[in-house]
Amino acid sequence: MILHKSSLEYMKKNYAKFNHPDFDKHGFINQGSNGRWQNLLSEKQIKDYEDILEQKLGYACALWVKNGGKFLAMSTI
């Protein structure tokens, strides 16, 4: 149920549930490009985020979250 209701297909079909003035100023999906948030945060905020990410997820998973691509087991890094 979680995967279904968090899918893009479900959200598009049920757009009215997600239609809120603060949520949707530029259309359902605005550009969808990676890294746009980096111009919104200071270098310290980005560093703090990356540190917390690694603490919570571990090095390999944090690296995947940051860069995408294949998820490598720790033994291969």
Query: Could you tell me if 5 and 21 lie in one domain?
Result: yes
Domain count, the chain: 2
Q: Identify the helix (H) or strand (E) that includes residue 3.
A: helix 2-5
What is the per-residue pLDDT across 20-65, written as a single tens digit (0 to 9) for each?
665 555 555 555 566 666 678 788 988 999 999 999 999 988 888 8
Q: What per-residue confidence (pLDDT) applies to 58?
A: 92
Query: Could you tell me if 73 and 51 lie in one domain?
Result: yes
Q: What per-residue confidence (pLDDT) applies to 57?
A: 92
**Which residues form the domain of 45?**
39-77
Half-sphere exposure at residue 3, Cβ-oriented, CA atoms within 13 angstroms = 0
Query: Could you tell me if 44 and 24 lie in one domain?
Result: no
Separation CA 52–CA 55 (nearest Å): 5
Question: Hey, what are 34's tokens?
Answer: 């990676």
In the predicted structure, residue 2 carries a pLDDT above the cut 60: yes
Of 17-21, 34-38, 71-75, the range with the lowest mean pLDDT is: 71-75
pTM over 0.85: no
